[in-house]
């Protein structure tokens, strides 16, 4: 906490992709023509200018450039973007700056350009190493490009890199899912995000659902995969996030620990604590057309007191680490009595353990996270 305010992060959204993947509900738009590199960077920096009063004397602890496909931006545009941000907000000495990169969109030269611009962590969207599965997922790259991207990231000597991998894919056997994981581990990424594929509303997969592994197979994939990861030296610290010791993603940790973040770019969300302790959320214009007319802010609103506890625990209990009890009051401004009833219920149900200093989610709590969180909903807390 600086000036009594939470750590500050910055999220930057790049909304274009070469084509839309059938499972994806992120704010991403199939590119028609060329990315408007310089024009979009100018809009991002104008958007940031409008948000500078929310910094309130803080340094940036982390930056995450996500998408969409940020690696469609030229390294010059990335340099201008990073220079522009640096001129406007001081960077913490140990700042973590992540960029998402899609295999098939990054050449070796561009990678080192991004690094020169200040990117020190790259998150590569591998998804699978199986050529047929990649085609089924609508990906524009094959396994070879994913491996090459990971090798490039290793060679650059970045502070860290992540591989995104999905499991529970259409017609995927347990062995195929574990084989994907083995290949990812062999590339030795310091961080691995291992997501179970979910069918999201308003996606192509939702309108034409593929055949997914049944619940028993999904459970076996998770159990055996989790074991493989542990044996390879990875620690799970969130539902889908695994890291070697010392390589957790600081940016995501700040979200889940209920820190503050500015969001710039199409559809970006922000959460900011004001000097009086109230919490404001901001949402930027979703579609590139409106955003690039200079209409950056879609809406902003204050988080009602009765919603703060649920929001705090919904984020916090994604993490497997213990939650310091003092964080609740420090970050929501509410006394612990506000949630005493809900905490007691969760403890009685075996979802939570309490010591004088921390709350620790139990294995049972992890398994029944939705029931645990229900206790903190405004009408029940
Ligand atoms: C912001 S997305 C996209 C990053 C990048 N554009 C890419 O596709 O490589 C981050 C990650 O979320 C995961 N993801 C996206 N849609 C998902 C879904 N429906 N179910 C599970 N994971 C998903 C993918 O692993 C993806 O790499
Ligand atoms: S490339 Fe990534 S962001 Fe773009 S549509 Fe596919 S999953 Fe979504």
- 267 pocket-lining for ligand 1 (C-beta < 6 Å): no
Residue with tokens 């450039």: 65
| Residue 144 tokens, joined | 């070879």
Contact 62, 9 (CB under 8 A): yes
Q: What angle do CA 316, 322, 328 make, to 5 degrees?
A: 50
**Res 268: pLDDT:** 98
Distance (angstroms) between ligand 1 centre and the Cα of 46 equals 28
Distance (angstroms) between ligand 1 centre and the Cα of 240 equals 12
**Res 380: pLDDT:** 54
CA-wise closest residue to 4 among 57, 60, 54, 51: 57
Ligand 2 atom closest to residue 125's alpha carbon, by position in its atom list = 2
For residue 125, give the ligand nearest its CA. 1
Write the secondary structure of the chain as one string of H (helix), E (strand) and C (coil).
Answer: CECCECCEEEEEEECEECCCCCCCCCCCEECCCCCCHHHHHHHHHHHHHHHHHHCCCCCEEEEEEEECCHHHCCHHHHHHHHHHHHHHCCEEEEEEEEEEECCCCCCHHHHHHHHHHCCCEEEEEEECCCHHHHHHCCCCCCHHHHHHHHHHHHHHCCCEEEEEEEECCCCCCHHHHHHHHHHHHHCCCCEEEEEECCCCCCCHHHHCCCCCCCHHHHHHHHHHHHHHHHHCCCEEEECCEEECCCCCCHHHHHHHCCCEEEEECCCCEEEEECCCCCEEEEEECCCHHHHCCCCCEEEEEECCHHHHHHHHHHHHCCECCCEEHHHHHHHHCCCHHHHHHHHHHHHHCCCEEECCCEEEECHHHHHCHHHHHHCCCCCCC
Ligand 1 atom closest to residue 28's alpha carbon, by position in its atom list = 6
**Closest protein CA for atom 5 of ligand 1:** 125
Contact 185, 163 (CB under 8 A): no
Distance (angstroms) between ligand 2 centre and the Cα of 52 equals 30
- 326 pocket-lining for ligand 1 (C-beta < 6 Å): no
**From the centroid of its chain, how far is CA 78?**
20
**Res 126: pLDDT:** 96
Q: Tens digit of pLDDT per residue, the chain (381 long)?
A: 656 899 999 999 999 999 999 999 999 999 989 999 999 999 999 999 999 999 999 999 999 999 999 999 999 999 999 999 999 999 999 999 999 999 887 776 788 999 999 999 999 999 999 999 999 999 999 999 999 999 999 999 999 999 999 999 999 999 999 999 999 999 999 999 999 999 999 999 999 999 999 999 999 999 999 999 999 999 999 999 999 999 999 999 999 999 999 999 999 999 999 999 999 999 999 999 999 999 999 999 999 998 999 999 999 999 999 999 999 999 999 999 999 999 999 999 999 999 999 999 999 999 999 999 999 998 755
Which top CATH class is 8-254? Answer: alpha beta
Q: What angle do CA 199, 240, 5 make, to 5 degrees?
A: 110
Distance CA 302, CA 279 (A): 6
Residues 6+ positions from 266 with CB-CB distance below 8 Å? 13, 15, 27, 284, 285, 286, 287, 288, 291
**Res 262: pLDDT:** 98
Radius of gyration from C-alpha coordinates of the chain:
21
Distance CA 103, CA 124 (A): 7
- 24 pocket-lining for ligand 1 (C-beta < 6 Å): yes
- Maximum alpha-carbon separation in the chain: 59
Pocket test for ligand 2, best of 68, 137, 141 (most atoms within 8 A of CB): 68
Distance (angstroms) between ligand 1 centre and the Cα of 112 equals 24
Pocket of ligand 2 (CB under 6 A): 17, 20-21, 24, 26, 28, 67-69, 102, 125
| Residue 24 tokens, joined | 């994806």
- 23 pocket-lining for ligand 1 (C-beta < 6 Å): yes
pTM, entire model: 0.97
Let me know how long the chain is.
381
Ligand 1 atom closest to residue 125's alpha carbon, by position in its atom list = 9
| Residue 295 tokens, joined | 């209409």
Task: Give the start-to-end residue ranges of the domains of the chain.
Answer: 8-254, 322-381
CB atoms within 10 A of CB 304: 11
């Amino acid at each position: 906490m600086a000036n009594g305010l939470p750590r500050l992060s910055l999220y930057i959204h790049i909304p274009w992709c070469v084509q839309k993947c059938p499972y994806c509900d992120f704010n991403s738009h199939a590119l028609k023509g060329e990315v408007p590199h310089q024009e979009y960077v100018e809009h991002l920096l104008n958007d940031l200018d409008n948000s500078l009063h929310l910094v309130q004397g803080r340094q940036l602890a982390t930056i995450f450039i996500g998408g969409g496909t940020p690696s469609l931006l030229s390294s010059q545009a990335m340099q201008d973007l990073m220079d522009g941000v640096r001129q406007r907000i001081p960077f913490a000495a140990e700042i973590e700056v992540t960029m998402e990169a899609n295999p098939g969109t990054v050449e070796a030269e561009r990678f080192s350009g991004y690094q020169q611009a200040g990117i020190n962590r790259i998150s590569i969207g591998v998804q699978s190493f199986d050529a047929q599965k990649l085609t089924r997922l609508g990906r524009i790259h094959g396994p070879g490009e994913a491996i090459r991207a990971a090798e490039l990231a290793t060679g650059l000597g970045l502070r860290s890199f992540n591989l995104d991998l999905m499991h529970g894919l259409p017609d995927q056997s347990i062995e195929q899912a574990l084989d994907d994981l083995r290949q990812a581990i062999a590339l030795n990424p310091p961080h691995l995000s291992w997501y179970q594929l979910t069918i999201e509303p308003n996606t192509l997969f939702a309108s034409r659902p593929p055949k997914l592994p049944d619940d028993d197979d999904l459970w076996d994939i998770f159990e055996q995969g989790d074991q493989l990861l542990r044996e390879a030296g990875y620690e799970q610290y969130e539902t889908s996030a695994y890291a070697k010791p010392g390589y957790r993603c600081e940016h995501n940790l700040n979200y889940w620990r209920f820190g503050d973040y500015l969001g710039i770019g199409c559809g970006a969300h922000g959460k900011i604590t004001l000097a009086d302790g109230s919490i404001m959320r901001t949402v930027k214009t979703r579609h590139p057309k409106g955003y690039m007319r200079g209409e950056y802010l879609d809406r902003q609103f204050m988080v009602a007191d009765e919603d703060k506890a649920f929001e705090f625990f919904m984020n916090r209990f994604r993490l497997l680490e213990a939650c310091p009890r003092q964080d609740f009051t420090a970050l929501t401004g509410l006394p612990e009595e506000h949630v005493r009833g809900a905490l007691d219920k969760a403890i009685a149900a075996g979802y939570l353990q309490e010591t004088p200093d921390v709350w620790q989610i139990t294995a049972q709590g992890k398994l029944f996270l939705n029931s645990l969180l229900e206790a903190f909903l405004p009408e029940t807390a």
